[in-house]
Structure 1
Amino acid sequence: MKKYDAIYGRQSVDRVDSISIESQIEYCQYEIRGGAYKVFQDKGYSGKNTDRPQFQAMMEAIRRGEISRVVVYKLDRISRSILDFATMMAEFQEYGVEFVSCTEKFDTSTPMGRAMLNICIVFAQLERETIQMRVMDAYLSRSRKGFYMGGRIPYGYKLEPYLIDGKRTSHYVIDPAEADVVKLIFSMYAEPQTSYGDIVRYLIEYGIENARTKDGGWDRCRIADMVKNPIYVKADLDVYRFYKDQGTVLHNSPEDYIGTNGCYLYSDKNSGRKSVHLEGQHVVLAPHEGIVPSHIWLKARLKCLNNKQVARPLKASNTWLAGKIKCGKCGYALTIRKCKLKTRTIRYFICSRRMQTNRCEGVGGIEADAFENLVLSEMIEHLKQFETLSSPHTLQENPKIHDINVKIEQITEEIDKLLDKVANADGVLMDYINKRITELDAQANVYRQQLSELSPLENQEKCNVAELRDYMQHWDELSYDDKRAVVDQLIVTIKATENSCEITWKI
C-alpha cells in the first residue's frame, strides 16, 4: 500500500486574530512539496482534548498503515493537552509516523527533538488554561457587578438595553400582564397546602396560558424554577438575612437591600445546583425591579427548602433558635452540642467563646429542649397582649426602622468576621477581638433598644397574629425552617445564662 502525508488543521472559532484552516493547509502544502497528501480538518473544535471527528478519522488511517507523516501548521493545532499529546506521539512511533510542524522545526527521531516537542506542548497547555482563567474571571467580575450574562428571559420580564458604569448591557423590565401571573403563582405557593400541581391545574382551569411555550401550557418544573428564582423578589433586609443564613456569598452591603431590586444568583464552577445548594452560591443585587414582596417570596422559598428532595442547610438542623441566642455574659453566639447517653441524646447550648478560648465564665451548658420550651411559652404569652395586628405590609415601613436594622446587620457582620479570626489569634489579637466585640455588642444593644421604643404598629408591620398563633398550635409538626421563620418575626435576640433568659422582641 502506497502511503501518503496527512495535513491536519483545526480552528476553534472564527476570529480576526486567528489563522484560518485554509491558510493552515496552504502552509502545510508547501512543506509537502508536491507529494501525495490528504486533508483532515476540524472546524469549531477545541484543542483541549481529542474528541474531534476528523482527528479520529486520521488516527484510524494511521492504524491502518496508510499515513507516513502528519503535517500541521503549528503544534497547538493538533493538541493543547500534555497527556493527549504524549499518547498521540506514542502511537505515532508505534506505527512509524513522523510528525512535522511547519512553524516549529522538530526532528522527532532524536531525544533533543522529542524533548523540545514536549516543552512546547507544556506551554500550549499553559496558554489554554490561562485563556480559560481569564474568561472565567471576566465572567465572574461582570456578573457580580450586575451585568446581564445571557440566558432565557424569565417569565414576567422583557429585555431592554441598559448602561452600567458606562458599559452597554441589558436589564429586565417588568411585563405587567405576565407580572400579575407571577404574583398569583407566588401567593398560591406561599400557602402551606398548595403544591406545584395545584398551581398548574388552577392556571389551566382558568385559561391562563404561558406565551413562552409553544402550546401555552405550564408544568411543575417551570413553576418550581420560578419560585426558587430570586430575580422576582423585592429584596430587603429579610432577604439579605435569608441568604446569609444559608451560607450564600453576598456581594452587596445590607444598606443596599431597600426592598425594590431583584437579585441574580450565580454559582461557582464546582458548586452544586443553584436550586438545591445555596451554600457557596453568589447573590448580587440586579439593576431591575422585583415583582414579588419579600415576605411572600420568603414564605415560598422556605417552603421549597422544606421539600425532602431539597437539601436543608446544616445550620438549622439542630435548633430553631440558631442565630438568635447569645451568651448573657459576653454576647458571643451560643452554639449547640450533643451528648449521647445510654437511652437518649441530650442537646445543650454552650458559649462559643468559652468553648474556643475558655475566656468566658458565662454559659457552660443549657439543656436545649427545656430552653426551647421556655422560649416557646414566652412567645405564646407575648402574643396574648395583642388582639389584632396589622396584616403584612399594610403600612409603609418607617425609614428609621430600616436604618437601625441595617446598622445592626453591619455590626453582626463585623462580629462574625472577628470570630473567624479567633482560631488563629494570639494573646494580643484576642484582647483586641474581645474589646471590639464588647463595644460592638453594646452598640447593637442601643440600636435594639431604639427599635423597641418605636411605635408598636411600626414593628408589627410584617406580623399576622392569627397566622403565628396557628403555627404555634402545630409547633411539633413544623420544620426547623418554619419555626425559625416564626421566631424571626417575633424576636430580635435572646441573651441567656444558666439562670436567666432576656428576650428582645420585635413587636
Structure 2
Amino acid sequence: MKCCLDYCHEKGYEVSKRFSEAYSGLTLDRPKLRELQDLIRAGYIDVIVIYCLDRISRDPTHGVILTQEFERLNVALEAVTEDINNSELGKLISYIRGFASKLEAEKIRERTMRGKMAHLKEGKLPQGTGIGIYGYSWDKTTGKRQIIDHETETVRRMFDMAINGISTNKIAITLNESGIRTKSGSLWYPLTIRRILKNQTYTGKTYYGMTKRVGKNKVVAQPKENWILLPDITPPIITDGIFNQAQEAMKNARDSRPMKSNAAYLLTGFIKCPKCGSPIGGTTMNGKYRYYQCRGARPTATRGKICDAGYIKADKLECEVWKKVVEMASSPITILLRQYEHKCVDRINPLPSFD
C-alpha cells in the first residue's frame, strides 16, 4: 500500500479511496472489486493505481474484461512496479483482446456473407455500391437500378460511335466539348469510356461475384463459373447485338494497329521536353517511321495542345544518346567531372526552399 501511495504522491494524484483485500485474484466475485467498479461507474475515479498487474486479476480473461470496462469509462490503469502494456500478463491480455477482436471480425464477415446469400436467393443484388454506374440510379427500396434518361442517351451515343470506328479518345473529346460530364461531374477520359463499352450490365445482365476484394484495396477478377446472374435487377439500355458490335469494332481497331517488334522506344520515360517540361514518348508514322514527340504537343481528351515542339527522329536521338553513354562509361574521369560540374551548378543556383 505504501508503494502505491508514494507513487500517487510523485504523480501528483489525489487519493480518494484505498482498497486492500485478501480474496483470490482468480475470481471477479470480490467485495472490494465490486465496490471499485461501482465508484468507477459513478464517475468518482479517474485513475486506478495498483502495485502490479496481477493485483487486479490473475486470470487473463478477467483482465481483458476489467481493462475493457476501464477503457470504456475513460479510467486509466497504472502499476507501480511495471509498464502494464509491456508486462508478461499485460502482453497476454493484449493478445487475448486481439484474438477476440479478430474472432468478432470473422463473425461479422460470416453474418454479412449469410445476409448477401439470402438476398441472392431472393434475386436481389446484395448492395448498391458507391455512386453507381453511369446511366442508372440505385433504388434502395426495390433493390434495383432505375434508368436515368439523359445519361441513357449518352450511353447509346457512346456505343454508336464505337461501332462506327471512333476511338475512345475521340469519344471522350466529343463528350467533353459537348459539355457532357460523368456522373461525378468530371471530364471524360478514354479509360472511363472503354470501361462503359466493355460493361455487359448495359444489356440488362447483372452478375454478382465477378470480382472479389482481397485486403483493403486489391480487387481480383473471379472465374466466370463463379458469377451469379440476377434477373430483373438492371433494365437494358442497349441490345446484345449492339454490345457485340461494339466489342468487335474495338477488337478490329486494336488489331489494325499492332505493336511492331522493332517499335520499342528506349528513351521513353527518361527524357522531357526542353520547351514545356512534358514527358517525351515514342510514336510511329505510317506504321514504320519511328519518332519521339512531346506529349504536350498533342491534345488529350481533357486538354488542348500546350507545346509546339516538333518530331525527333528516334534512330538519330537514340544513337546520339548511346554514343554519350559509351563515352562516359569508358571514361570514369568524365563521369566524375560531370558530377563535379552538377555540384558546382547546384551551389551557384541552389534550389528554392518553400516554407
Structure whose CA Rg is larger: 2
Into which bin does the TM-score normalised by the smaller protein fall? 0.3 to 0.5
Normalising by structure 2, report the TM-score.
Answer: 0.41
Whose strand fraction is larger, Structure 1's or Structure 2's?
A: 1
Normalising by structure 1, report the TM-score.
Answer: 0.31
